Structure 1
Amino acid sequence: MTKIYFFGECMVELRELDDATMGQSFAGDVYNSAVYMKRCFANITVAMVTAIGRDRLSEKMLTRFKREELDTQFVFQHPSKVPGMYFIETDSAGERRFTYWRNDSAAKKVVQFLNDDVVEQLTAADMFFFSGIPLAIIDEDSRDAFWQKLECLKLAGVKLVFDPNYRAQLWVSKDDAIAQFNKAFHLSDIALPGVEDLSVLYGIKSAQEAIDFCQQYNLEEVVVKDGPKSVITLTGTERHSHQITPVTNVVDTTSAGDAFNGVYLGARLSGKNVFDAVQLGAKAAGTVIQHPGAIAPLVAFKQAMSEAGI
């Protein structure tokens, strides 16, 4: 069976429902992508690689993973750490503002759980997905070990997929982020960058420039997301621009790129061509942004994707 591991952090999400009430859920970029992939492609084994705690919220998080039918074999439970948490606010255009509490996040310690036996088991995967966010939060003294483990996976034939999500507040400096992102690009087989992230770090201003930038690396496949404007792909020497129909009813842009990533990769793992995979990913992103929070309601999301043909 086709299998993909999503490496990173899931957090406790808080959202104001009214002046006196908070809603609580779970979200995080790699987790969001995993959820949306599994909802669309039941035949793919979708697994999380992360660390949580042993507290009540961690147990609820683990239960949610299982409810979303994610493989939890490598969801490790740290004896003293807890999940990170964030509060999300959105403006009238659906744009987001976050307040974070993650200094004691268990996910910062996940690399210490990846011993040789675990890495050997991870080599059974078809893909291993990671983003710039777990790169930022894992302990700095664990980064060399992390890259060594990824090299083992690559040597075993696992395709490495990198989404360069950049959050400035998570890094000591921009130079530090660039150094780590460069390593990720060099090692990866597939990259899923957004123009906005590359613009901040590398001064890239357009999707075409992003494709040109990625060509310096030995990437098999590049998918550049430029918000609601377009998606540009590069596979081998074939470069294509894909037009996306913008959504007018934007409620919350949280997780749009994550949904695209999960469904795009699920489509590719299921044998669909790049053109169809882009359109399915765009449909997922367009559906998610019409609902509040990172994870859209199951029924509404599945209905929309069913109408798209999956």
Structure 2
Amino acid sequence: MGGFASIGECMIELSGASGDIWRMGFAGDTFNTLWYVRALSAANYPVDYVSAFGDDPFSEKQRDFFEANGIGTAKSPIIPGARPGLYAITLDGAERSFTYWRSDAAARKLASDPQALAASLKDRDIVYFSGITLAILARADRNALFESIATARSNGSRIAFDPNYRARLWENIETARAVIGEAMRLADIALPTFPDEKDLFGDASPEATARRIAAFGVKEIVVKDGTDPALLLTPEQEEWVPAITANAIDTTGAGDSFNGAYLAARLQGLAPADAAKRAHTVAARVVEFYGALAPMEEAKEAFEPGTPPSALPGISPSRGEIG
């Protein structure tokens, strides 16, 4: 076994507007998580983003950006004539909102070649995906993705899943519930956010979320909940892991960075509670930067044991996924 694979859509990100001048970057929920796994793993540890890409100049820049940062694309297909999705971030203080242009993005074809997809997931330590990954796919491609993930799991990979519910991406709430439930049956690690689960399933509390997910057979669950502690539930323990305040200027991608740091810590053999503590610390650093991707060196510094939490007032970073 070896390596980490994250499946989904990486978009062009427009952020940091000053008048009509915008900064262009690349981001997306599962890519953001992968970014932090890359930052917090050994340089020779294989980290791949599994998607589909266009053949336009922006797609080429995207792949160049990946390569420059030690991120592979495994066997991801290149779709002639396709292009990346696009979103713009607007801020009201530290809180953000998004505008999207993504209906014909190349990533919607990420499961169109089942053999390439299966090859991309082969022999991974962890395979990670999200509810957004599922929401952008047609039903047949979604089924192909599930088959490839199930095969990877049967061959020894751990499967990590964040439901990351975004209502606007789903045809209706019933479909979202059914598909996300199917994904949970494949998961070894679940990383939900309580407000999303409340919206989708009507959960009354993080405890209700954790127990509902545990009923699918998931053995390791971390429920994030904004400024409140995260709830960790495994067969051996139930523990509330306090969040960390931060001098937040942009909460974009905060929950994704929590996921990335948590999974990186688990890959390094840390216990779940210790992994959640490291994840809170990394996410608290990430919200002190604009955009979804904080510099890798900043994430590394925050991840190291003994890093003091910020004494500045702010908000907990355990929510803020984009998608």
TM-score bin (small chain): over 0.9
* 1:307 Cα deviation after fit: 6.5
Counterpart in 2 of 1:26? 26
Of 210-219 and 191-200, deviating more is: 210-219
Provide the residue aligned with 1:126 in structure 2.
Answer: 125
1:193-204 matches, cutoff 5 A: 193-204=192-203
Q: Residue 55 of structure 2 aligns with which residue?
A: 54
Give the 5 Å matches for 1:71-82.
71-82=72-83
Match of 2:250 in 1: 252
CA contact (8 A) 2:114 2:144 kept: no
Separation (CA, whole Å) in 2 of partners of 1:199 and 1:90: 25
Higher strand proportion: 1
Q: Which amino acid aligns with 2:17?
A: L
Matches within 5 A, 1:270-309: 270-306=268-304, 308=306
Partner Cα distance (1:231, 1:44) in 2:
28
Partner residue in 2 for 1:104: 104
For 1:178, the equivalent position in structure 2 comes to 177
Find the aligned partners of 1:178 and 1:77 in 2 and give their Cα distance. Answer: 31
State the distance in 2 between where 1:286 and 1:299 align.
Answer: 14
Question: Which ranges in structure 2 are unaligned for 5 or more consecutive residues?
Answer: 308-323
Give the match for residue 64 of structure 2: 63
Distance 1:282 1:136, change over 3 A: same
- Structure 1 distance, partners of 2:126, 2:300, is 24
Following the alignment from structure 2 to structure 1, what is the Cα–Cα distance between the partners of residues 138 and 120?
A: 23
Distance in 1 between the 2:236 and 2:213 partners?
12
Pairwise CA RMSD? 1.7
Structure 1: gaps spanning 5 or more residues: none
- Tell me, what secondary structure is at the counterpart of 1:72? coil
Contact 2:159–2:187 (CA under 8 A) maintained in structure 1: yes
Alignment partner of 2:277: what SS?
A: helix
Amino acid at match of 1:3: G
Deviation at 1:306, TM superposition (A): 4.1
**Against the structure 1 CA distance between its residues 149 and 300, is the aligned structure 2 distance closer, same or farther, given a 3 Å change threshold?**
closer
Residue equivalent to 2:147: 148
Aligned residue type for 2:242? Q
Q: Within 5 Å, give how 1:256-267 maps onto structure 2.
A: 256-267=254-265
> Does structure 2 retain, via aligned residues, the 8 Å contact 1:123–1:157?
no
The structure in which a higher percent of residues are helix is 1
Q: Is the 8 A contact 1:7 1:48 kept in 2?
A: yes
Paired residue for 1:213?
A: 212
Q: CA deviation at 1:112?
A: 0.9
3-state SS of the aligned residue for 1:77? coil
TM-score, normalised with respect to structure 1: 0.94
Aligned residues of 1:3 and 1:44 also touching (Cα < 8 A): yes
Structure 2 counterpart of 1:162, which letter? F
Contact 1:48 1:74 in 2 (8 A): no
SS at match of 1:86: strand
1:1-43: per-residue Cα shift (whole Å, max 9, x none)?
7311100010000124311311110000111111111111125
TM-score, length basis structure 2:
0.90
